[in-house]
Amino acid sequence: MSTLDRDKHPCFNAHAKGTCGRVHLPVAPDCNIKCNYCNRKYDCVNESRPGVTSSVLTPQQAVRYLEQVLEIAPETAVAGIAGPGDAFADPGDTMATLRLVRKRFPDLLLCLATNGLAIGPYIAELAELNVSHVTVTVNAVDPEIGAKIHSWVREGKVIRRGIDAAKLLLERQLYAISALKAHGILVKVNTIIVPGINDLHAADVARKMAELGVDIQNCMTMYPNQGTPFEKVPEPTPELMVKVRASVEGIIPQMNHCTRCRADAVGLLGEDRSAEFRDCLSACSETYDFVTEDKPYVAVATLEGMLVNQHLGEALLLQIWSQSKTGYEVVDVRTTPERGGGINRWLALADMIQDCRAILVSGIGETPHQVLLENRIVPVEMNGFIKLGLDAVYNGANVDVWKARRSGCSNGVGCSGDAGGCG
């Protein structure tokens, strides 16, 4: 049994909010569902809401960032993963981060937030890693209502919409919550209140969650976001939220001290220090760890051999560069796999450049990005001279053209949120 003090989590215990801090590690940029109120595109230093972060970190970067946070804010008791997407849309980075953090900081509480769609296969390992707190967002236990809130659900390459999507999501959520409780993990359920859609349904959600043994529910006001289907839906009024909370009180314990944290939140609840740590977060996101064993080369998407100026999806050829005693030289030119074929194209590409530690591109979609990372090839999005990118990869140079990985790509329909992906 763990000796960690689980009462130190400020979201689960209001008495800890003034003394115990938390830090969110933004390592999960992708999402496997589309909520009609969610827009993760914009970032404002003065904005506190889920889905917002200034940078996205790799697991290794997250550990370095956490080291710096703990040095400056030793009151930090909890490290969590809360996006900016879903923790299990890309389970590899989430689990790698948790493993690294648990090994480096055995006395730190670990938590994460998820929509519950894809967490199921990882619950046993989460328990082994002593992840003590998990938050699942459950907006409806009636698929008819859920279908009004979620546009689509993606499982692998399959997109489900409407009632089918809502049924699948709910089925996975109920299973996940039951499994989490069976493994002794504390569970909080967030319910986003959308006026006219699920405000009268919150008590039904509460009753079902109570049946499953959920520890606490958090009824949150929906935040109208520009560019979403619900952008014209008004934010719930304080009077409406009073009615909603009155309908659920007595059914399940309620969290009434939520501050709608950013995905890179730092500090005590109500005293977010993410702006203070922004430079630290950015600096960590610009430092990559490259696998060098048996990977002497760097692939480059370029039109003329001088600049990194091609999106990976458009590149017909890749130059293969090597470091020499006198600088850098092109050692090969390789033809990229034929367009189409979905993920198989990127698997073939990863195999083709398996001897490369990195690939320099002006843009890249989420699917190839993940496939390459899983094959220990770091995609570097940048614009500028190839030499500067090579200096960064081989010598750790910190130059202006070096770009941290964004939570989207500038080309292709995948960036518009329609789940089309980058083929």
CATH topology of domain 6-285: TIM Barrel (3.20.20)
Task: Give residue 413's pLDDT.
Answer: 35
CATH superfamily of 297-416: Dinitrogenase iron-molybdenum cofactor biosynthesis domain (3.30.420.130)
Who wins on pLDDT, 213 or 277? Answer: 213
Share of the chain above pLDDT 70, in %: 85
Grade residue 375 by pLDDT with cuts at 50, 70 and 90: confident
Task: Give residue 415's pLDDT.
Answer: 33
Q: Where would I find the beta strands (DSSP E) of 25-163?
A: 33-35, 76-81, 109-114, 131-137, 150-155, 158-161
Is the pLDDT reported for residue 277 higher than 80? no
Joined together, the tokens standing for residue 193 give: 């209140």
Give the whole-angstrom CA distance, residue 409 versus residue 52. Answer: 17
Domain boundaries, the chain: 6-285, 297-416
Computed over every residue of the chain, the mean pLDDT equals 84
Q: Which residues contact 1 (CB under 8 A, 6 or more apart)?
A: none
Joined together, the tokens standing for residue 257 give: 């001290």
Local structure of 121: helix, strand or coil: helix
Of 29-33, 231-235, 240-244, 414-418, which one has max mean pLDDT? 240-244
SS3 content of the chain, % helix, strand, coil (to 5): 30, 25, 45
Is the pLDDT reported for residue 119 higher than 90? yes
Task: Give residue 7's pLDDT.
Answer: 76
Asked if the domains at 6-285 and 297-416 fall in one CATH topology, the answer is no
Per-residue pLDDT tens over the stretch 341-352: 788 899 999 999
Phi-psi map region of 203: left, alpha, beta (phi>0 left; psi -120 to 50 alpha): alpha
pTM higher than 0.75 for the full model?
A: no
Is the pLDDT reported for residue 51 higher than 80? no
Per-residue pLDDT tens over the stretch 188-241: 999 999 999 999 999 999 999 999 999 999 999 988 888 888 988 999 999 999
What sign does the dihedral 303-308-28-94 (CA atoms) show?
A: positive
Joined together, the tokens standing for residue 121 give: 């296969």
